[in-house]
Structure 1
Amino acid sequence: MAGRLLNKVAIVTGGGSGIGEAICKRFAREGAAVVVVGLNSDPVRDVVEEILASGGRAIGYLGDISRQDTAKSCVKAAVDEFGWLDILINNAGVFPATAELDKYPVDALEYMIKNNIYPVFMRTRSALPALQKSKGTIVSAGFEAGHMGSLMITPYGATKAWVMTFSKGLAVEQAKHGVRVNCVGPGPIDTAWTHKETGPMNAKMEKNTVDGVPLGRRGTPEEVANVYLFLASDEASYVTGATYFVDGGVTISTSLPGEDVPSHLKQQPPQHLKLAHRKAGNAKVREDATASMS
């Protein structure tokens, strides 16, 4: 293990699949003890077993983290198992629908408020006392559409804009306690969400999503996890209140430049993490994520 997070303890929500799986495995390779958090139907146990088999330290936590009692219980589990908490990664989220606003399902909006906003608030609120003791750090998942807006996913982008603004305010508020707060803003990443077969996009949206990337391809979960690693490490000790976009240039583009990228440059770089659950993300309404938030 390289040791950039040696002796650190991290909670990673949505850690059973997609970008969350990559974060958990990347952190574990760098020496962190990881609490892999997910819903009952997520492959959390598989990820924990894979980390343990590779010599890392990890435990799983299953539950609906939009609930205050569950959020508190998860933090307690981390501290009870490993002694303290240094890092909170608010990665969990859902992407259940695409449509123009007048046709957008109301229940999909309610589902996103519950699973994209409430968990960030509840988990952060519950973790702050422990993070203040350790002078720790929080990194949450924004999105490029939360910065610039995007057609057909306006409500989803709005939930991510909330996360990004919440993080900026929290960074100012918690600086006096030594707690850093930042965001990562992924663009089109090679997970369940950006493929028409496994997510809510149709064929046209999928094509435009990739063609709109100046680098001409989807990013990989590992490429996103690398940025989470930097922000969670002591290397980012003077970084707070920032959003780091990992989007292949989407937020600076106004056309479909990916169409002009030659095929050999569209190839993804070699990956070093074995991600068995890369396309198991929350891309539809699931019963274990629809319960009451109270």
Structure 2
Amino acid sequence: MNRLQNKTSVITGAATGIGKATVELFAKEGATVLCADINTEEMEKTANELNKNGGNVKSYHVDVSDEESVTNFANQVKEEFGTIDVLFNNAGTDQEGGKVHEYPVELFDKIIAVDLRGTFLSSKYLIPLMLDNGGSIINTSSMSGRAADLDRSGYNAAKGGITNFTKAMAIDYARQGIRVNSLSPGTIETPLIDKLAGSKDEEMGHKFRDANKWITPLGRLGRPDEMAKVALFLASDDSSYVTGEDITADGGIMAYTWPGKMLIDNEWKEDTE
């Protein structure tokens, strides 16, 4: 407990999923948490609940893909807090778009704008608030930034960019005492997964989760709180000598080259029930 005591943390994409779980965990660990998202209604619900229980959480409407929105937010944070200690660039979006020759340009631009450009803009305008005292930056990438998915080239490009952008930032700011790492989740039970693949109560959502049970060595989807714990490690002094790394938390998917025997081994599939 109290691993982030007296630290000010900014979390983008804070309203739902991994972002929300991280807000809750960071607040419990003693941080002042500044939540940024376009979904202010959900953020405010979380903030109010945490503040009732002794937390110190504030919410801000921010569109990370919009430079003016990000600069206004950074200026407000500077005015209210002066400096920050942790930046979790977690905001992101995803959607299938078909093969590259079919892929809508506007969809590609949107995903790049939110996921990759948003990480750049938030870093560019908030890093100055970390230069004097150092700190930790965590960028949400994905296992899809290390390997590819069918019909999701825009997301693959954005997340692959984030993974390498993280390494560039780690080199740029190491001598200022700013550590920069990326977190690459696998498939996590979030509202975004419900939107992409269907909820647990829908037939397609049920089929999607069943498929992930056997293809994931741990036999299930991940939980947002599990990702939040990895983010906490990277944000805290527990990872004081870790920078430029991409930590993949995917239940083991990236540990194998291809499904191989898993495709025909019924015992493997039955073990996940």
Separation in structure 2 between the aligned mates of residue 152 and residue 205 of structure 1, nearest angstrom: 16
The 5 Å alignment of 1:100-249 reads: 100-195=99-194, 196-197=197-198, 207-249=210-252
Query: How far does residue 47 in structure 1 lie from its aligned partner after superposition?
Result: 1.5
Unaligned runs of 5+ residues in structure 1 are: 267-294
Aligned residue for 1:132, secondary structure, equals coil
C-alpha change, 1:179 and 1:213, in structure 2 (3 Å) is same
For the 8 Å contact 1:140–1:182, the answer to whether it is kept is yes
Q: Deviations over 1:238-288 (max 9, x none)?
A: 00000101100111132185972556x66xxxxxxxxxxxxxxxxxxxxxx
The CA RMSD measured in Å over matched residues stands at 2.3
Amino acid at match of 1:24: V
Bigger relative contact order, structure 1 or 2, given CA contacts below 8 A and separation 6+?
Answer: 1
Query: How far does residue 69 in structure 1 lie from its aligned partner after superposition?
Result: 2.5
Unaligned runs of 5+ residues in structure 2 are: none
Give the number of the structure whose alpha-carbon radius of gyration is greater.
2
C-alpha change, 1:108 and 1:41, in structure 2 (3 Å) is farther
Q: Which runs of 4+ in 1 moved over 6 A?
A: none
Separation in structure 1 between the aligned mates of residue 79 and residue 137 of structure 2, nearest angstrom: 20
Query: How far does residue 53 in structure 1 lie from its aligned partner after superposition?
Result: 1.6
Query: How far does residue 78 in structure 1 lie from its aligned partner after superposition?
Result: 2.7
Separation in structure 2 between the aligned mates of residue 42 and residue 98 of structure 1, nearest angstrom: 29
Question: What is the aligned-residue identity percentage?
Answer: 31
Amino acid at match of 1:169: A
For the 8 Å contact 2:12–2:89, the answer to whether it is kept is yes
For the 8 Å contact 2:209–2:221, the answer to whether it is kept is no
TM-score where L is the length of structure 1: 0.82
Query: How far does residue 103 in structure 1 lie from its aligned partner after superposition?
Result: 3.2
1:25 aligns with 2:24: yes
Separation in structure 1 between the aligned mates of residue 41 and residue 120 of structure 2, nearest angstrom: 21
Aligned residue for 2:131, secondary structure, equals helix
1:255 aligns with 2:253: no
TM-score where L is the length of structure 2: 0.88
Aligned residue for 1:216, secondary structure, equals coil
Query: How far does residue 50 in structure 1 lie from its aligned partner after superposition?
Result: 1.7
1:43 aligns with 2:42: yes
Aligned residue for 1:103, secondary structure, equals coil
Separation in structure 1 between the aligned mates of residue 63 and residue 18 of structure 2, nearest angstrom: 19
- Report the number of matched residues: 263
For the 8 Å contact 2:141–2:160, the answer to whether it is kept is yes
Query: How far does residue 83 in structure 1 lie from its aligned partner after superposition?
Result: 4.0
For the 8 Å contact 1:10–1:35, the answer to whether it is kept is yes
